[in-house]
Structure 1
Amino acid sequence: MSRTAVRMIAVAVATAAAMTAAPAASAAAAEATTYEATGAAGDPFYRYDGAEPLASYAPGTVLKTRTLPYHLLGIPTPVKAVQLLYRSTDALGRPSANVTTVVRSPTGDGTRAVSYQSFYDSLDPEDGPSRAVAGDVSLGGLIPHVEVALVAPLLAKGYDVVIPDTEGQRADFAAGPEYATNTLDSIRAATRSPETGLDSATRFGLMGYSGGAIATGWAAALAPGYAPDVDRSLVGFAEGGLLVAPAHNLKYVDGSLTWSGVIPMAVIGVARSYDIDLKQYLNSYGLKVYAELEHGSITDALGHYPGLTWKKMAKAEYADPNSVPEFVEAVNRVNLGSAATPTAPGFIAQGNAGVLEGTFGNPPGIGTGDGVMVAGDVRTLARQYCATGNTAISYRQYDLLSHFGAPLVWAPAALEWLDGRFAGRPAPSDCGRIPAGNSLAPERPAPRS
């Protein structure tokens, strides 16, 4: 891959950004064309069809390998990408097969790599970044094309880039622990494949924003226990726009004009991840929204359900989501504040434009945030890491920036921070200077109203 190829990708991001606003009908036509040409919907590469049971392989084992052109908006570029089908573990601890993409830097030597976790946020497996690389241009899968603006600078700096399909092949949206295992096993697979040029001596950084921060944060937290071999190779993790306590976020966006569609997305994703049935608690309208978004993406949710609340979706006796035992169990499982403290240094950033949650005010104990993520939760998590032994934590709060504005500041700062860790410079610490935040205690069941 040449420098020219990297520049071609970076320049083409402007086209990808413009496509974000394209009419849905045009995107649908492009999607149909792509599927006809590449067979993405039925691509056999994604299926494990080996003779041995998947459980017989260790996590991170490479099951299939292919090399193809890196596509941008369905157009092949001179950049080559290696894709791997590998063995991983789902949210319930069962063996699973997943796909990751490895892109080599024109100046890289295999010693430094960044695992970049995409914020593709979707309940449709066809929207994963590996499918975008292979040529998919569906509206829901457009985000990975736009994210080339974040990947290209890494390649230009000499970092090889690994891009896992963090949500797995069922698109288990918001299931942080599964995002983590998919990410960690992706790194294992990338270092075990001779085609990638990476090996056990490769040092890695983790990087992700928003949905990508879910994967980054959980991977950093679970690495010491689930993948100590990967943990030893980590120089640090950089994340922004972080989901910490999903139960708080659902209250925060309740009634929002823009972000309320995340409520059913999270309900569907968590229910799917942990094989629980939350539909039994929904009313007819809730079931209608559930059906509309069951295979939808963030593009189908943002602004499409203005003013939506949990109460509007739930049966009267379940107006308080904490009256649903399965809900309480699920949101506690995906509360990052209950996970272990990472051993790697961390750069954590969060927008806090003063946006109150909901339509009619500010429920006690949640505070402000960036419109979808709760700043107080992120502050508490950073303080918790400091208090439990990891003092190499940098924290930035962007008080004038929303969830959409913060990445413009976060991305260059995160890259500069990672450069320092790869260069061997001591990680700076903001421990002792991070303001107090919210309680991250587990949710408690509430009596039904």
Structure 2
Amino acid sequence: MRKPCALAVTAALACTCMFLPAAASASAAAPAATTAPGSTVPDQDPFYAAPGNIASYAPGAVVDSRPVPGVNLFGIDVPVNAWQISYRTNDSHGQPELAVTTLVVPKAAWTGSGPRPVVSLQTPEDSVGTSCAPSYQIATGKDVQDAALGAQLLLANWAVAVPDFEGPRSVFLAGPQAGHAVLDGIRAVKAFGTAGIGRDNPWALDGYSGGAEATGWAAQLQTSYAPEVKLAGAAIGGLPSDPAAVGSYIDGTAFAGFEFAAAYGIATEFPEAGIDGLLNSRGRQDFASIKGSCELTILPSYAFRRLNEDTTAADPLAVPSVAAVLRANTLGAAAPATAVYDYHADTDEIVPVGQDNDAVSGWCAAGGTVEKVRDLLGEHVEEVAARAVSVELFLADRFAHKPAPDNC
């Protein structure tokens, strides 16, 4: 769900970077961090290590920061200033941990009314290794997807924050963990107070595919977890709202690697699911192999595989302990307070539209405001490009305080 998305927008990105607004760079205080962003993988970079007293920090409190100098894409300079910000967040069980977000601010001055808008962009990492995290990928200058997905927002002269929402253990499709990391990332950026981004800027959410899952959880948890974080709107596309339904849909297909990555992520974040105890010898070998892997390695390695080949259960997703955890990680139980733009291709070959429809139905029944858009034809990769302008227009209208469409 991650790198394939980049293919749909890479061609336009090379031109897009050339047209980003340019101006004099902003200044920021020198951080305490000593290692250079992207110089070493997060597992070996002290910047990503939680301090021993992480529990004493409030959720969203800034732990450290450092600038990301010379943001570029394969050597092409991008006219932005960027910082990595580490902060305290909570995992799915409420335990403290360290997360990192990357704040990207156009160098051009903001000339619109009020403070510059900021979008928390959740990109589809869909991996189980920290070297796949957006903060590291952006710093290396090789992350086509994150640059491509953020280009449309930066062209609007908005600031963008890109959180490593899978957390320090890279747990793919762990819903509450992702939602917490997104919301606490917004808190951290507000507290960081740099380059005109502070307490008063309006915020919105944007995410597609695996990033939509994190976006949906942040929107759904906002009222209970971070009620002071006000959101103008949330754009959510190709949403994998129900991990069990998605897993069943892609089991045995070319995209089965996503199911195996999710199984590993859920097992890591939720030991109470008992997944490790269901593994046979092949499963234990596969879990050892997939650890630390990024999507481009995972997909070919597990293509056309079935999850029950790795377990002692004929239907591992139906095992009661597993099913209970998967239900707890399914969206739709509570309505987001912010307006939602939910888009999906009816013919999506990776994320089935039906389970997204179920999430929207749940949000609507609970009183949410949702503009549901369904395209009769389209592939998963194509949909993010097809709806890019619609997403920008939706967010622009929300920042302009226009009434939100609602077809619940």
TM-score (norm 1): 0.78
Q: How big is the alpha-carbon RMSD for the aligned residues of Structure 1 and Structure 2?
A: 2.3
The alignment of Structure 1 onto Structure 2 pairs a total of residues equal to: 373
Q: 2:406 aligns with which of 423, 429, 441?
A: 429
CA contact (8 A) 2:232 2:339 kept: yes
Residue 386 (structure 2) aligns with: 409
Residue 99 (structure 1) aligns with: 100
CA distance in 2, matches of 1:351, 1:85: 36
**Which stretch of the first structure deviates more once superposed, 399-408 or 214-223?**
399-408
CA distance in 2, matches of 1:386, 1:93: 28
1:208-247 equivalent positions in 2, closer than 5 A: 208-230=207-229, 233-247=230-244
CA distance in 2, matches of 1:344, 1:271: 31
One-letter amino acid of the structure 2 residue matched with residue 268 of structure 1: Y
CA distance in 2, matches of 1:40, 1:323: 37
CA contact (8 A) 1:75 1:135 kept: no
CA distance in 1, matches of 2:239, 2:147: 20
Note closer, same or farther for the CA distance 1:324–1:125 as it changes in structure 2 (3 Å cut): same
One-letter amino acid of the structure 2 residue matched with residue 228 of structure 1: P
One-letter amino acid of the structure 1 residue matched with residue 45 of structure 2: D
Note closer, same or farther for the CA distance 1:229–1:400 as it changes in structure 2 (3 Å cut): same
Q: Which runs of 4+ in 1 moved over 6 A?
A: none
Q: Displacement, 1:107?
A: 3.5
Residue 67 (structure 2) aligns with: 67
Residue 30 (structure 1) aligns with: none
Q: Displacement, 1:255?
A: 1.5
TM-score (norm 2): 0.86
CA distance in 2, matches of 1:112, 1:13: 20
CA distance in 1, matches of 2:360, 2:335: 10
Alignment pair present for 1:122 and 2:122: no
1:40-439 equivalent positions in 2, closer than 5 A: 40-41=41-42, 42-49=44-51, 53-69=53-69, 70-73=71-74, 77=78, 79-105=80-106, 106-108=108-110, 110-135=115-140, 137=142, 144-230=143-229, 233-256=230-253, 258-276=254-272, 277-315=274-312, 318-338=313-333, 340-353=334-347, 370-390=348-368, 392-431=369-408
Q: Displacement, 1:48?
A: 2.8
One-letter amino acid of the structure 1 residue matched with residue 339 of structure 2: P
CA contact (8 A) 1:71 1:132 kept: no
Q: Displacement, 1:136?
A: 6.4
Residue 23 (structure 1) aligns with: none
CA distance in 2, matches of 1:56, 1:263: 36
TM-superposition CA deviations, 1:29-68 (whole Å, max 9, x none): xxxxxx9981234222112336xx2111111101111112
CA contact (8 A) 1:76 1:135 kept: no
CA distance in 1, matches of 2:75, 2:292: 21
One-letter amino acid of the structure 2 residue matched with residue 108 of structure 1: W
Larger Rg over CA atoms: 1
Note closer, same or farther for the CA distance 1:400–1:350 as it changes in structure 2 (3 Å cut): same
**Which stretch of the first structure deviates more once superposed, 174-183 or 68-77?**
68-77
Q: Displacement, 1:76?
A: 6.3
CA contact (8 A) 1:113 1:202 kept: yes
Q: Percent identity?
A: 33
Indicate the SS of the match to 1:229.
coil
Note closer, same or farther for the CA distance 1:329–1:136 as it changes in structure 2 (3 Å cut): farther
